[in-house]
Structure 1
Amino acid sequence: MTAGGKEAVTSKRRLGIARQVALELRKGRRKHLWLICAAMLGVLLLWFGYQSARQVEVTADYRVLLYSLPTVNAVFLPLLSAVVASTVCDVENRGNMWKQLLTMERAEDLFCAKWLTCVLVLAAVVTVEVAAASVIGGTLGFQAVPVSESLVLWVSTLAVCLFVATVVECLCLFIANQFVPLVVGVALSFLGLFSMYLPAYVSVFVPSSYFGLLSTVGMSYDYATEVITWSTVAWPVGYFAVIVLVTVAAFALSLRAFARKEP
């Protein structure tokens, strides 16, 4: 095949995946996916706003926001990520349509289209969350959050959400019972609630704890003076590399297994 022919095939495949992603987004709209995300995000921001309103009475340091938001994320976002992945796969699971779909399109394209749909939805959710948190902080009287630190927070949060969504999508594609993936989301949210109290050698094995592990803010408490001191720490690139590598591995293994799925 000539170089031009290869480019034409690649371009056609990309357009096909783009159309599949658009179709998946339309399916999600029928399943009220955006409404579910908006409702869960609204509860998250209400909790975050309530906590921030109490803390601003002590200090207006913006680092309080960057410390509090990952803590709230560890509770809400694992479940939200699981719900997104489960909803994206729910139509085919309910109708047992996998065999029909796999006779009409490549398994790899179907898997990638559903994963990319999760990426787009979660990216939108995280973008709105980070922007809204900054607005809430400014309204309450906190210092403005630097753009660079907001960007690091966005990247860190999305990376952990995509790991959870990748694992849950894999479970959805191989397990017909959608209750199992949702249980995984609930379990990760429950663990996220206590992740900050776990020893470091344990928390590194808990996916939801990475919302806090990737934080760029440190906190120290002086028991003698009862004063909390906030500090900026270097972005833990090592933890970020771990979550990215594990996500890539989960994606690659799941894609390979799904590609071998018999129609």
Structure 2
Amino acid sequence: MKLLKLEFFKCRRRKILLVCAAVLAAELLWFGMYLTRQDAEDLIQGWMLLFYNLALIDAIILPISVATISSRNCELEHKGASLKLLETMVTPGRLYGAKLAWGALVLAALLIVRTGAFAVMGVAADFHGAIPWGRFAIFTAISWAVSMMVYALQQGLSLRFQNQAVALVAGIFGSFVGTMSMLFPPALVRCVPWGYYGLLSLVRMEWDPATRFTQFFWQWPQPMDLALLCLWAAVFLLVGRALFVRKEV
């Protein structure tokens, strides 16, 4: 607990809150602009439209956002003899765990606030039906789980390399690949860590070329995909932790 408090103390001037606010503003603006191009008939499926687009927005924005948050937290350890001093008081494994817990709390707070903001947007846009809080909770949990898998990868890179450009380039690459993966077959998407934002989406879309009508429908994630997500997360966590523990300081 003391190490976790220390992580929040160290990041008090790292503008993490500003980064999270920028992420939230970008997602709200993106979907808000999308809504302005929809007619009344499209908004009948408003809540499903929202969840479908949120998965796409997550695949574009969250990989680079997670990379930025992780980098802002980890770059302090590379300045001066900070890491050497810290390791005189605590083992590298515990330090790695504290940073991971810090990231989990920050991402959870960001996604919970986002859920409330998009629920309000849906009500303001007069979506049909009540707010699907249960589906919002599941979607938020999935987004958090995928983001933590990506965060484990990004934290490993941020702690391993002093030049934070390596981690940020990986985040930019993840945003590109995650977006493109939504056009791939599911079997191929399972091999792309950033593609799980779209793979585990609660809403699927079917477009009829004859009638030119788009139909959305609910779909629960496959158990195998959830298991693969846990496998990716475990690999990134164990490899990243092992590299950090063996890192010479």
Query: Are residues 1:104 and 2:104 paired?
Result: no
Choose which of 17, 24, 36 in structure 1 pairs with 2:19. Answer: 36
Displacement of 1:201: 3.0
Residues 1:55 and 1:195: Cα distance change in structure 2 (over 3 Å):
farther
* Residues 28 and 34, structure 1, Cα contact 8 Å, conserved in 2: no
Give the gaps of 5 or more residues in structure 1. Answer: 1-17
Q: Show the 5 A alignment for 1:42-191.
A: 42-55=25-38, 57=40, 58-61=42-45, 62-143=47-128, 144-191=130-177
Question: Is residue 160–residue 243 contact of structure 2 (8 Å, CA) maintained in 1?
Answer: no
Which position in structure 2 is the counterpart of 1:6? Answer: none
* Separation in structure 2 between the aligned mates of residue 196 and residue 157 of structure 1, nearest angstrom: 15
Which residues in structure 2 correspond to 1:234-249 (within 5 Å)? 234-249=220-235
1:96 is displaced (CA, Å) by: 4.3
Shift of 1:101: 1.3
**1:52 partner amino acid:** L
Cα RMSD of the aligned pairs, angstroms, is 1.6
Shift, 1:175, TM fit: 0.9
Q: Any idea what the Cα deviations from partners look like across 1:142-194, whole Å, max 9, x if unmatched?
A: 13342221111011101111111111111111111111000000111112232
C-alpha deviation, 1:202, in angstroms: 2.5
TM (normalized to structure 1)? Answer: 0.88
Q: Which runs of 5+ in 2 are unaligned?
A: none
Aligned partners of 1:94, 1:40: CA distance in 2, in Å?
A: 27
- Of the three residues 5, 8, 27, the one matched with 2:10 is 27
Contact 1:75 1:193 in 2 (8 A): yes
Given that 1:86 and 1:182 are in contact with CA atoms closer than 8 Å, whether structure 2 keeps it comes out as yes
Runs of 4+ in 1 over 4 A off after TM superposition: none
The aligned amino acid for 2:143 is T
Return the letter of the residue paired with 1:170: G
State the Cα deviation string for residues 117-143 of structure 1 (Å, max 9, x = none): 110111111111122111111111113
Q: Does 1:215 align with 2:201?
A: yes
- Structure 1 Cα separation of the partners of residues 54 and 184 of structure 2: 18
- Give SS of 1:219's match: strand
Distance 1:56 1:95, change over 3 A: farther
- Secondary structure, in 3 states, of the residue corresponding to 2:204? strand
Question: What SS class does the counterpart of residue 68 from structure 1 fall into?
Answer: helix
- How far off its partner does 1:262 sit? 4.3
Distance 2:20 2:116 in 1: 16
Residue by residue, what CA displacement relative to the aligned partner does 1:5-62 show, whole Å, maximum 9, x if unpaired? xxxxxxxxxxxxx111112112222111111111122112110222133335323221
* Aligned sequence identity (%): 33
